[in-house]
Copies of this chain bind each other. A is one copy, B any other.
Amino acid sequence: MKDVASAAGVALKTVSRVVNGEPGVHPGTAERVREAIELLGYSRNESASVLRSGRTATVGLVIEDVADPFYAVLSRAVEDVTTGYGCMLLSGSSSEDPVRERELVGAFCARRVGGLIVVPAGADHSYLRPELEAGTPAVFVDRPPGPGLDVDTVLTDNAGGAGLAVRHLLGHGHTRIAFLGDEPSIFTAARRLHGFRAALGHLFDERLVAMRTPTPAGVRADVDRMLALDAPPTALFTGNGRLTVTALRALAGRLPALVGFDDFELADLLVPGVTVVAQDPAQMGRVAAELLFRRMHGDTGPSEHPLLPVRLIPRGSGELPA
């Protein structure tokens, strides 16, 4: 910048003004400065700018895994909103590891992000308190923070969605409905189990519930065990997209009625089409990002907790008779 200033024959500050589009610079001067910038291939040092001004125009996003289509779509939505506000997005995958989550948040804060969007992996987020008090807003997405932290959240109606699925299957005559879910320590899995149980009422049977990290072998074992019962299930409710796909492979043709939580590409092309309770990850990302930017722009109202609706999409597998 010093070089640009001397090349254009002006003071440092004038170059700074031009670079930042501040008013009060003679158009001719500005043009000369711009030429010098072009000529020298100058690019502003963001670090120095941040250091001096305290502003970063950066937002941090912690998700579970970018390679998971659900979070990939969510990321993209957040990125689009962020870009729309002239900000950059920093993101990282926690791999469901609380330690990694905390490292990522720490790295983002050290880079002085203006705000955080977090899909939490851990159960304790007291480490965030200093940042929140320092004025860095945070929005929790898909799962709430640990106890004692009053921040905005954007959650899906997990229990309601599970209820929707169960009632749909009940409506097609099923009374033996099984549930395959993720680890019960994961918030969404627990909420979906809750909704499942509540909608089934006295029809709930513990033997028809299996909750674990969805590995092919594990899911196959669960499916085999359930199908071998004296009174096997006639319908299956799978608790997330990965489980639905894993279960379809494990079933290998022995297809009971099936409704899955989460939509996925090609669900419509399978035979039969897979009926799902669909969330909208892009909407989730947009809502969270917009909320975050409102906070970053100074909205200090009480914390908000929008609950996003789900939608049942019948495609065939959920409409098979009992």
A interface, CB within 8 angstroms of B: 41, 43-48, 50-51, 56, 65-69, 72-73, 75-76, 79, 83, 88-93, 106-107, 109-112, 130, 245, 248-249, 264-266, 268-271
Contact = CB atoms under 8 A, between A and B. Distances in A.
15 contacts: A43-B109, A46-B47, A47-B51, A47-B56, A47-B111, A65-B76, A66-B72, A66-B76, A69-B69, A76-B93, A88-B111, A249-B269, A264-B265, A264-B266, A270-B270
Contacts of A45: 51, 110, 112
Contacts of A106: 43
Contact of A245 (B43, B46, B266, B271): B266
A88 B186 CA distance: 27
A192 B23 CA distance: 52
A133 to B, nearest CB: 9
Contacts of A93: 76, 79
A155 to B, nearest CB: 21
Given A47-B51, A47-B111, A88 B88 contact: no
Contacts of A88: 90, 92, 107, 111
A11 B43 CA distance: 35
Contact of A75 (B67, B266, B271): B67
A177 to B, nearest CB: 22
A69 B265 CA distance: 11
A21 to B, nearest CB: 15
In the complex, which of the residues A65, A66, A264, A266 has the most CB atoms of chain B within 10 Å of its own CB atom? A66
A47 B46 CA distance: 8
A249 B265 CA distance: 11
A223 to B, nearest CB: 15
Contacts of A68: 72
Contacts of A248: 269
Contacts of A265: 245, 264-266
Contact of A130 (B41, B51, B112): B41
Given A66-B66, A266-B270, A44 B76 contact: no
A107 B65 CA distance: 24
Contacts of A72: 66-69, 72
A92 B72 CA distance: 12
A92 B80 CA distance: 10
Contacts of A271: 270-271
A110 B46 contact: yes
Nearest to A112: B47
